[in-house]
Every structure is written in structure tokens, then in C-alpha cells.
Amino acid sequence: MVVGAGGMLGRDVVRSAQAAGHDVVALGHAQLDVTDRAAVRDAVGEARSDAVLNCAAYTDVDGAEAEEELALRVNGEAAGHLAAAAKAAGAWVLYVSSEYVFDGRKGEPYMESDPVAPLSAYARSKLAGERATAEANPRHLILRTQWLFGVGGSNFVETMLGLGTERDEVTVVDDQVGCPTYTGDLAAALVGLTARGEEGTIHVAAGGECSWCEFARAIFDEAGVGCQVRPGTTEQLGRPAPRPAHAVLRSERPGAPVLPRWRSGLDRYLVERASAEAPA
């Protein structure tokens, strides 16, 4: 059962699961309000799935500063509803979390055993979801990932390509470093972890690392867009929510999935994007 199936990651998870031969119950927001405990209990019970994959999320990092209660309800409380319903149905549950649970001050990649230190309302809501999931269902996997982009949802690549057609120059921060992760790659790894019934916490992100500024330059380079990228700072950008400056995710778990490097994911995303836009 994939909850949040209409989102960017959820769509790819459904597709990957079906390609792997699984029977999939796909529920988007229109089919299931994850904040409705009774509706969640009924939906999970009726599905009789072996696994419940929670891809539903409040993702507006800056918006959460003004809507922390809503972010907590969707990312935190609802995660507990899904995990509890999965337990009652005898199912394993997965919760997709974020590098935002770390403060980015370590100076080197974060492993699963590193202490969390959320900086923002969004980060606190994701950590609340991790804890609610773990408390409600011992058969759980918390999967932390970062900087997602994929076909079928708003993301940094689409934002840059849009700006690149409107402007000759953009300024992008170069003091935040992470791993841009293609949802097509992540979804396949996620389905594999589900099939194995992995439990606990795991980090899965693209290989390599870069700043947002470097990512933007690669996007324009690969897409053939003649837009110049100027480096800026987070302070200059003045966004409401604080961001971890260097929160690269890596795993210390034996057998953890190893995804392709981020630039490879970008290349394949652009090919998939062009195919999706091509006339039938």
C-alpha cells in the first residue's frame, strides 16, 4: 500500500513496485486524508497489505514556519496513525524522512547513528513523524533521503529550467551542500528494502555531493540552457526557515542501497522529462 501515491516520490514508488511484480494499492490525498485516524484505520484494514509505505508529506519548508501545527499534523501525527493501523493489520511500515533532522554542523556525512538536531519547524515535524512511526509499530523502517527531484512534481530542476527561460542570470546559494536524489533511483531502492522487510533507520541518497549552485549549473549545462549562475549565500536569500548547511547522508548499515551519482540521476531525469513532454 502506497500512501501519498499522487506525489513525486509516491508515483515512482508505485511504478517501481508494479514493475517488480507487486500488487499495489495506491492512495493519493483525494482517496485518503492521512490526518483522519479513522479513515486511515479503515483504509489500511481493507487493503490487507503486507507493507504500508508512507510517502505522504507536508513539504513546504518555509511555509511550515507559519504553519507548524499543520506540518506536525501531516508529517507527525498522521505518520503515527498509519504506523498504528499497519500494526493492527499485521503490516510492516515505512516512513520517508529527511536530512533536515540534522543541523548540518558536523562537517562530514551524517550516518544513522548520529544525533539529530532539527533547526526548523519542518525539521521538527519530520522528526516527530520518525518517532511516531517507531513508537506505533515495531516493524518499521525510517528512510532518510534528501534533495529529491522527479517527473510529476515541483522540484529544484523544474524551478531552474523555468527561470532559465525567463532570465539571463540567476543567483543560487553555494553554502548549502547535499545529494540531489532522483526519485526514480530512490523508488527502486525503496521497493527493494520493502521486499526485504528491513527495519530501523537507514540513509539512502544519491552518490556524490554538490551545492545548490553547482546543481543549478549542471542543470543548465545538461539541458543546454544559456543562463549564468551566480553564487549567493543563505543569508542573502533571506528565507524564513533555517537550513542545514552540510547535511550529506551516507549509510553505515551493511547492505544499504547504493544509488548512482547525482549527475547520472539528473541525466536520466532530463531524458524521462523530455519523453513525458513528447507528443503521443
Catalytic residues, by residue number, are 122
* Best CA proximity match to 91, nearest among 147, 39, 51: 51
Task: Specify which residues 201 forms β-bridges with.
Answer: 142
Cα distances from 70 to residues 64, 73, 97, 99, 179, in angstroms, run: 8, 5, 17, 20, 27
Provide the pairing of β-strand 177-178 with 210-211.
antiparallel
Q: What is the DSSP string of 66-100?
A: T-HHHHIIIIIIHHHHHHHHHHHTT-EEEEEEEGG
For 152, the grid coordinates are: 510529476
Give 111-114 contacts, CB < 8 A, sequence gap 24+. 111/203, 111/250, 111/251, 111/252, 112/144, 112/200, 112/201, 112/202, 112/203, 112/251, 112/252, 112/253, 113/252
